[in-house]
């Protein structure tokens, strides 16, 4: 491979960590007045870099020197890495290594984490020994533009200044939006602050919270079990030791964990991967992780909160230079989670917005095997949340009228509404008024009747096909919601699913999941002849998830045209294949097309049930599993009765109307 072709490959990888390392090395060479080394001129330079990123800097330095290697010449460069440890018995000393390299090496880089790690002979002969600067706003902005196409606002990037390269590289991945990358970078600065367990203080208990459903029920049961455990009535083995709480941002996952600690009258130890990463290199991270669990065990019984659990990643989907890093971090967490006696008295609560991005081993029995999704609050819950945050103010106000206008709002948004209303009253030096609440309501856009009906068909499509394919897909629809008014994000509806444990992960399983995901688009096509943009446009949309599943079948699971394992399951790896390989893209498109046609066929065949669900969504805005099941099953019974009548009348049996509409589509 020629140097030129290799350079194109390196650039094409767009690894954010590597880009940052090369940029900071280049800046250091310019600052030290030795940039000429990258122009194929002789030179010897040492770099002082953070310990946790040293390996990455070594790889970056090798790549940079190789890129600027003279064509057709043998390698005239080398990169040394000094860790501070003495050479092993039988190996040459550091001074001997340097002396051996000097006669045949024109360009020599050395990477170290401490000035004291650099041997004396290298100090004498080096042109410069430079401390590499930390990541600043300029290089952060640049790497976002190179990898993701655009950079967020400077104030959003500011918390990530100075963050470790391996953490930035794990967050800024091709295929993600800048906003998704920022979510993974959040808290890196604040994480450096030490955490202390929170003792139950004045605040809401589970009884004061609204809209948490199954999660709150689990919490009340846990409180009873912990009380019995502390009293010696039951062993620790009989207590639920962990749960994963998922849901969209702002629904109150952390608030629930805090209320759970108050209800159980135990301490809450709050931690996250970002907080542990801020302690330093991998070894320091693992020490901080083990210390967090050890501190919790000393304070048992207690609750240990692991925020943004998906940030640990998935070993099956990891690749590249940080694969080993992710593997060791997850293995460390599994060691802390494993065993009944090893963490007796410690209940682990993990929170996440993306449960499907969590390593499967974390969710296995005995670890965090219980998963509860927290939905957006319904009308009654919105009233309860608003009343809680208003306290004794406005006791006679008809809050349901205001709650209707908060359709689709999270608990955090409702709390913000109450806070903004009180601020208006304070500035006016008077008690809180209803007008203050109305003035604080978020700007909403009321959908036209036609647009609202399209949303209803979209969500009804998910619900109906999801119900009929629930066994094959391993999930069932719990509720479908269609909003009359939408906020700034324009989201007009949502269908929630419960994932059934133990389902077979076969080709049929994934095809059924894709069919359910595309059923919203299919329902729009059935009803209106075409579909709108509501099924795609952003990360985690129906179209995005369906595409990633189809790509995983082809590239990761051996369920496509080949058995070969070609890629991990991470979105950025799959997207790179889709963009770069036309044949893979055609196979994925074929899966999507077939599943879309299958969804259309199902909806055409069950059009009466689809219309019934749509009518309920138009009238009430929400349907639950029992109503979905009744709509489908009752129509199936009617269809059977109709078929029996037709079978008893030969003249009707020959009617073309007996053939279900859409039967030409394959199932």
Which candidate, 519, 439, 480, 432, places its Cα nearest to that of 623? 480
Collapsing DSSP states into helix, strand and coil, what is residue 611? helix
d(CA 543, CA 368) in angstroms, rounded, equals: 29
d(CA 308, CA 288) in angstroms, rounded, equals: 17
| Beta strands across the sheet bearing 475-482 | 493-499, 475-482, 622-624
Spatial contact of 467 and 610, defined as CB atoms under 8 Å apart: no
Q: Which helix (H) or strand (E) holds 77?
A: strand 77-82
d(CA 495, CA 484) in angstroms, rounded, equals: 15
Q: Which helix (H) or strand (E) holds 79?
A: strand 77-82
Phi–psi pair at 485, nearest 5 degrees: -120, 140
Report DSSP state, residue 133: P
Interhelix angle for 253-264 vs 213-230, to 10°? 30
Collapsing DSSP states into helix, strand and coil, what is residue 304? strand
Site of tokens 């991270």: 285
Token representation of residue 276: 């542990």
Which candidate, 261, 252, 264, 262, places its Cα nearest to that of 221? 264
d(CA 308, CA 438) in angstroms, rounded, equals: 34
Whether 605 is catalytic is no
Q: Count CB-CB contacts under 10 A for residue 227.
A: 14
Q: Which helix (H) or strand (E) holds 495?
A: strand 493-499
Question: Is the four-CA dihedral 427, 431, 433, 437 of positive or negative sign?
Answer: positive
Spatial contact of 597 and 665, defined as CB atoms under 8 Å apart: yes
d(CA 19, CA 384) in angstroms, rounded, equals: 50
Catalytic residue among 459, 524, 554, 604: 459
Token representation of residue 55: 């390996």
Token representation of residue 393: 């103010």
Spatial contact of 191 and 369, defined as CB atoms under 8 Å apart: no
Q: Count CB-CB contacts under 10 A for residue 521.
A: 26
Residues acting as catalytic residues: 459
């Amino acid at each position: 491979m020629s140097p030129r072709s290799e350079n194109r490959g390196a650039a094409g990888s767009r690894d954010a960590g590597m880009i940052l390392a090369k940029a900071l090395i280049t800046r250091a060479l310019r600052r030290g007045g030795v940039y000429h080394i990258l122009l194929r001129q002789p030179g010897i330079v040492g770099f002082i870099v953070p310990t946790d990123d040293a390996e990455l800097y070594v790889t970056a330095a090798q790549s940079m020197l190789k890129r600027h290697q003279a064509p057709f010449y043998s390698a005239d460069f080398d990169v040394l890495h000094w860790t501070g440890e003495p050479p092993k018995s039988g190996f040459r000393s550091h001074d001997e290594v340097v002396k051996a390299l000097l006669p045949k090496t024109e360009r020599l880089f050395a990477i170290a984490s401490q000035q004291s790690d650099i041997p004396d002979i290298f100090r004498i002969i080096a042109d410069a020994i430079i401390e590499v600067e930390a990541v600043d706003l300029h290089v952060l902005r640049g790497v976002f533009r190179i990898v993701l196409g655009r950079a967020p606002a400077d104030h959003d990037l500011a918390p990530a200044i100075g963050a470790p390269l391996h953490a930035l590289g794990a967050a800024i991945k091709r295929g993600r939006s800048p906003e998704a990358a920022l979510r993974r970078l959040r808290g890196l600065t604040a994480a450096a602050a030490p955490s202390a367990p929170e003792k139950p203080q004045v605040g809401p208990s589970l009884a004061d919270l609204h809209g948490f459903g199954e999660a709150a029920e689990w919490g009340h049961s846990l409180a009873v079990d912990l009380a019995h455990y502390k009293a010696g009535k039951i062993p620790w083995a009989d207590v639920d030791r962990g749960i994963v709480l998922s849901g969209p941002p702002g629904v109150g996952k952390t608030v629930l964990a805090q209320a759970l600690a108050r209800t159980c009258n135990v301490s809450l130890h709050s931690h996250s991967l970002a907080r542990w990463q801020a302690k330093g290199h991998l070894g320091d991270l693992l020490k901080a992780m083990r210390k967090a669990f050890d501190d919790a065990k000393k304070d048992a019984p207690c609750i240990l909160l692991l925020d943004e659990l998906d940030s640990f990643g998935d070993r099956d989907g990891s690749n590249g230079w940080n694969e080993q890093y992710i593997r060791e971090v997850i293995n460390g967490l599994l060691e802390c989670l494993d065993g009944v006696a090893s963490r007796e008295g410690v209940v682990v609560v993990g929170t996440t917005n993306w449960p499907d991005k969590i390593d499967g081993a974390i969710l296995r029995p005995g670890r965090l095997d219980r998963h509860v999704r927290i939905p957006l609050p319904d009308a009654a819950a919105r009233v309860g949340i608003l009343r809680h945050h208003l306290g004794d103010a406005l006791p006679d106000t008809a809050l349901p009228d205001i709650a209707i206008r908060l359709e689709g709002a999270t608990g955090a948004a409702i709390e913000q509404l109450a806070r903004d209303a009180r601020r208006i009253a304070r500035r006016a030096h008077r008690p809180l008024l209803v007008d203050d609440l109305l003035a604080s309501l978020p700007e909403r856009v009321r959908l036209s009747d036609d647009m609202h009906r399209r949303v209803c068909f979209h969500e009804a499509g998910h619900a109906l096909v999801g119900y009929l394919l629930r066994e094959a897909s391993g999930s069932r629809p719990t509720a479908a919601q269609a909003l009359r008014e939408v906020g700034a994000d324009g989201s007009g509806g949502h269908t929630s699913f419960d994932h059934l444990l133990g389902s077979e992960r076969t080709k049929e399983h994934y095809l059924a999941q894709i069919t359910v995901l595309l059923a919203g688009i299919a329902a729009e096509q059935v009803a209106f002849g075409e579909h709108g943009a509501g099924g795609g446009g952003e990360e985690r949309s129906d179209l995005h998830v369906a595409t990633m599943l189809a790509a995983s079948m082809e590239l990761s699971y051996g369920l496509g045209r080949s058995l070969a394992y070609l890629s991990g399951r991470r979105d950025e790896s799959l997207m790179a294949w889709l963009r770069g390989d036309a044949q893979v893209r055609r196979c994925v498109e074929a899966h999507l097309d077939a599943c879309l046609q299958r969804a259309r066929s199902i909806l055409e065949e069950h059009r009466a049930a689809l219309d019934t669900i749509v009518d309920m969504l138009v009238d009430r805005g929400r349907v639950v599993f029992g109503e979905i099941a009744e709509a489908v099953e009752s129509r199936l019974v009617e269809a059977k009765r109709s078929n029996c009548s037709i079978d008893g009348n030969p003249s009707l049996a020959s009617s073309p109307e007996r053939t279900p509409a859409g039967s030409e589509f394959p199932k």
